[in-house]
Structure 1
Amino acid sequence: MDLPDDFGALQALLLGSKLRVAGTVVLTLSVMLGAAVGLGVLGVPGVAAVDNEFGAVDESTTTIETDLVISNPNPVGVTLGDVRIDYGVSMNDVRVANGSREGVSLRPGNSTTELTTRMDNRQIPPWFASHVRNGERSRLVVDADVTSERLGRSKQFSIERSIETDLIGQFDSNETRPVEVEDSAITATPLVENPVLYVNETSADWGTVSRDRTPMNVEFVAYNPQAYPLTVTEIDYEITMNDVLVGEGGSETNAAILPDRSERIETTTAITNDNLDEWWVTHLENEQVTQLEIRFYATVEIEGQEFRVPVRALDHEETIETSIFEGEDS
């Protein structure tokens, strides 16, 4: 049966009306969205809190696991495909880690987004140099930017805290300590009696830090109890951090000490900064605890005879503990 021509016209009218209504709704929503953005009714999600912890670590990379608590101020949940989160960690302006993520689904209120950031361990030497240069103090800064291209705005979030250490503070001492020869073949000679000498005073401070070396200047007052003059011709040292050798060397002193007299002797030790990325791995694996050890050896000459003596009176041991992300403000 043929339908009247009026039915086709009615169908076109109805269909056209639906399309026009749909187009009107879309247009209206777009206008409303634009107006809401312009009036500030729709807010840009921001970071409400940050929680970091170290993950896996190997010789070249340290993983930082981050929970970002993102606050969505809008009354509805959204999938913000055009939202980008940029995240970074700095210590004394040395950028040690960067990360980013795009397309985050958010419900109204707070949502937790997980980020994995990889830190290049080669950034540890320049950071350590800056830490010592700054009086063994570091400023940790964690920052995150949430940017929405659709809304044309962004929000920044930043927290910071201080990291302080004291690697050589306990080196300063006025305690008198004996230096004894452990080799019985040496003490059997009539020229040498234990103690070979006494250390009456020790002090240390950091030298001028460079990109390659972190020097430490050491002074000590040595007293000669022998019946003969002696000369401390050289001081050698080894520096280990969690059994990782980070520095070694020696310097000529040629300090002559008369019997029953004292002399102030100066020497310089140094950490080789390029060795610190290897130490960093052990520091994290040991739950951010490091055993610092500095061992000294003196070459002593008495009446033309030279022998090497471990100077335990100068040796320095220190436990270094850090909690780099602990106490982050949110």
Structure 2
Amino acid sequence: MTARKRILVLILLASLLITSVFTLLPFAFISVNEIDLYWGKVTPETAEIRGIATIFNPSIIGIPLSNMVIDLRIFMNGIEAASGIKRGINFRAGESKINFSVFLDNKNIPKLWISHLRNNEKTTVDVKVHLFLDVSFWKIYLATFSKRITVETDILSNLQSNRSIEISIIGSFYIIVKSLSFSWGEITNEVTEISSNLTLYNPNMIPLTLSKIGFDIQANNITIGEGETSLSIILKPKSQAQIDLKAKIYNEMLDDWFVTHIKNGEVTVINIRFFSILKIGKTTLKIYLGDYSEKIKTSLLRSRK
């Protein structure tokens, strides 16, 4: 290549570089300053997450571009829960508010539930926003923004009870629930196990025979689990017994519950109802040993203040 050709090539490259610099200069200092998220429409299949991105354009001119893209991704304990993009964003000079929506597939709720429990009832929500130009076969990233929200629960703690509760059986006969405790058991992709320990006291002058005991679990009036055990325990007069039993939450039911949780302002009432089959002499009765409830409130998209 002759010296003259080399000079022409250098001039051409310099021209392209200068053109690129001046083309991209208006975008050089654009920033995403904040992202506000809130729940939109919730259906049995999806939960809409609406976002408002605050974008600052320091240029004195507005920038309307069809190939300007904003990309939002939401991760929960490292699992991508929702993602989406919006193309054709117009910025005015100064601050702009950009509205967009992404959707969470409710079928992912069981997987997110499992990760929450296995992480000691803690979920880290990572919100990541990228602003870029989509030009032909390459992307020019202009700005990024991220924030982290930590969600912690203690679902079973308020269900524990050391308060004696008298349960009427028939006539003057009654039984006393002296204590109740819960703990998480085995967690699989299909079920979440809850272990329970129940202390019953027989204050009567005759023995009581327990042939079965169990409980069901409801979340916002949706039955998500149950369990019972067949046993043969004779509660002697003026004596007590400790009973261990297990129940299973069916993880596939949790997407139905999640819809009610979001529609209820991220509030869920967990209700556990115990029952027992017992015998007094030749009489067999089914009695309820009480309801135990706890209200759970989360804030998945916004940090609590």
TM-score past 0.5 threshold: yes
Q: Distance in 1 between matches of 2:213 and 2:222?
A: 21
Q: After the TM superposition, which residues 139-178 of structure 1 pair with which residues of structure 2 at under 5 Å, given as runs?
A: 139-149=124-134, 152-178=140-166
Contact 2:126 2:149 in 1 (8 A): yes
Contact 1:50 1:69 in 2 (8 A): yes
Q: Which moved more, 1:171-180 or 1:67-76?
A: 67-76
Query: Corresponding residue for 2:296?
Result: 320
Contact 2:206 2:236 in 1 (8 A): yes
Q: Distance in 2 between matches of 1:132 and 1:211?
A: 12
Contact 1:159 1:328 in 2 (8 A): no
Query: Corresponding residue for 1:256?
Result: 234
Query: Corresponding residue for 2:277?
Result: 299
Amino acid of the structure 2 residue aligned with 1:32: I
Deviations 1:163-216 (A, max 9, x none): 1223221222222221222xxxxx35xxxx421x21212111111221121221
Task: Give RMSD over aligned pairs.
Answer: 2.7
Query: Corresponding residue for 1:275?
Result: 253
Q: Distance in 2 between matches of 1:245 and 1:258?
A: 34
3-state SS in 2 of match to 1:280:
helix
Amino acid of the structure 1 residue aligned with 2:264: N
Query: Corresponding residue for 2:72?
Result: 87
Query: Corresponding residue for 1:34?
Result: 20
Contact 1:167 1:320 in 2 (8 A): yes
Contact 1:253 1:265 in 2 (8 A): no
Amino acid of the structure 1 residue aligned with 2:303: G
Q: Distance in 2 between matches of 1:276 and 1:46?
A: 39
Matched positions, count: 291
What's the offset of the Cα at 1:55?
1.0
Say whether residues 1:119 and 2:104 are aligned partners: yes
Q: Distance in 1 between matches of 2:141 and 2:176?
A: 69
What's the offset of the Cα at 1:287?
2.0
Amino acid of the structure 1 residue aligned with 2:119: N
Amino acid of the structure 2 residue aligned with 1:90: F
Say whether residues 1:68 and 2:47 are aligned partners: no
Q: 1:66 to 1:123 in 2, by over 3 A?
A: same
Deviations 1:245-280 (A, max 9, x none): 212232224333222222111111222111111122
Larger radius of gyration: 1
Structure having the higher strand fraction is 2
Say whether residues 1:194 and 2:173 are aligned partners: yes
Q: Which runs of 5+ in 1 are unaligned?
A: 1-26, 182-186
3-state SS in 2 of match to 1:125:
helix
